[in-house]
A and B are shown apart, each in its own frame.
Chain A
Amino acid sequence: MSATEIGPRIPLGAWIESGVDWVTDAFGVLFDLVRTILVASFDAAETLLTSPPWWVVVAVLSALAFWAKGWRLGVGALLGFVVVLGVDQWDNAMASLALVLVASFIALAIGIPLGVWAARDDRVSATVRPVLDFMQTMPAFVYLIPVVVVFRAGVAPGLVATIIFALAPGVRFTELGIRQVDREVVEAGHAFGAPPGRILRQIQMPLAMPTIMAGVNQVIMLSLSMVVISGLAGTRGLGREVVSALSTIDIALGFEAGLAVVILAIYLDRITSALASRSPVARALQATAAR
Chain B
Amino acid sequence: MTILAADGVFKVFGRRPGEAVRQLRAGASRDDVRALGTPAVIDASFTVEAGETFVVMGLSGSGKSTLLRMLNGLWRPTAGTIRLGDADLGSISARDLRTLRQERVSMVFQHFALLPHRTILENAAYALAVRGVDGAERRRRAGEALEMVGLGGWEDHLPAELSGGMRQRVGLARALAAGTDVLLMDEAFSALDPLIRREMQDQLVELQQSLGKTIVFITHDLNEAMRLGDRIAVMRDGRIVQIGTSEQILSEPANDYVAQFVADVDRTRVLTAGSVMVRPRAVVVVGAGPRGALREMRDAQTSAAYLVDRNRRLLGVLRDDDVLAGQRRGVETLAELTRDEVTAVGVDAPLAEIFAPSAETPLPVPVVDDDGRLVGVIPRVTLLEAMAPTESANGDGSGGTAAAASAPPGRTNGTLSAPATAVPA
Contact = CB atoms under 8 A, between A and B. Distances in A.
B160 A198 contact: no
B117 A281 contact: yes
A185 B178 contact: no
B98 interface: yes
B59 interface: no
B74 A182 contact: no
B64 interface: no
Interface in A176-216: 182, 184-185, 187-195, 198, 202-203, 206-207
B144 to A, nearest CB: 18
Given A284-B116, A291-B160, A188 B109 contact: yes
Nearest to A199: B130
B117 A185 contact: no
Given A192-B101, A192-B126, A287-B158, A281 B116 contact: yes
Contacts of A194: 98, 130
Contacts of A288: 160-161
B255 to A, nearest CB: 33
A180 to B, nearest CB: 13
Interface string B131-160: 100000000000000000000000000111
A79 interface: no
Which of B72, B100, B160 has the largest count of A CB atoms less than 10 A from its CB?
B160
Contacts of B160: 284-285, 287-288, 291
Interface residues of B, number: 31
A284 B158 contact: yes
Interface in A245-291: 279-281, 283-285, 287-288, 291
A102 B199 CA distance: 57
Nearest to A209: B117
A6 to B, nearest CB: 43
A18 B48 CA distance: 71
B9 interface: no
Dominant SS among interface residues on chain A: helix
Given A198-B130, A284-B158, A285-B160, A192 B115 contact: no
Given A198-B130, A287-B161, A184 B109 contact: yes
Nearest to A283: B117
Given A191-B106, A192-B178, A193-B130, A184 B116 contact: no
Contacts of B111: 182, 184
Which of A188, A281, A287 has the largest count of B CB atoms less than 10 A from its CB?
A188
Contacts of A281: 116-117
B127 A285 contact: no
Interface string B167-200: 0000000100010000010000000000000000
B117 A182 contact: no
B85 to A, nearest CB: 15
A50 B113 CA distance: 49
Contacts of B47: none
Contacts of B102: 192-193
Contacts of B116: 207, 281, 284-285
Interface in B93-107: 97-103, 106-107
A207 B99 CA distance: 25
A182 B131 CA distance: 23
Given A184-B110, A187-B74, A284-B117, A192 B158 contact: no
Nearest to B69: A187
Interface in A219-259: none
Interface in A123-170: none
B113 A187 contact: yes
Nearest to B161: A287
Interface of B: 69, 72, 74, 97-103, 106-107, 109-111, 113-117, 126-127, 130-131, 158-161, 174, 178, 184
Interface of A: 182, 184-185, 187-195, 198, 202-203, 206-207, 279-281, 283-285, 287-288, 291
30 contacts: A184-B109, A184-B113, A185-B115, A187-B69, A187-B74, A187-B113, A188-B113, A189-B130, A191-B72, A191-B74, A191-B107, A192-B107, A192-B127, A192-B178, A193-B127, A193-B131, A203-B115, A206-B115, A206-B117, A207-B117, A279-B117, A281-B117, A283-B117, A284-B117, A284-B158, A284-B160, A285-B116, A287-B160, A291-B160, A291-B161
The 9 closest A-B CB pairs, nearest first, are: A193-B102, A193-B101, A288-B160, A280-B117, A188-B113, A191-B107, A184-B113, A193-B98, A192-B127
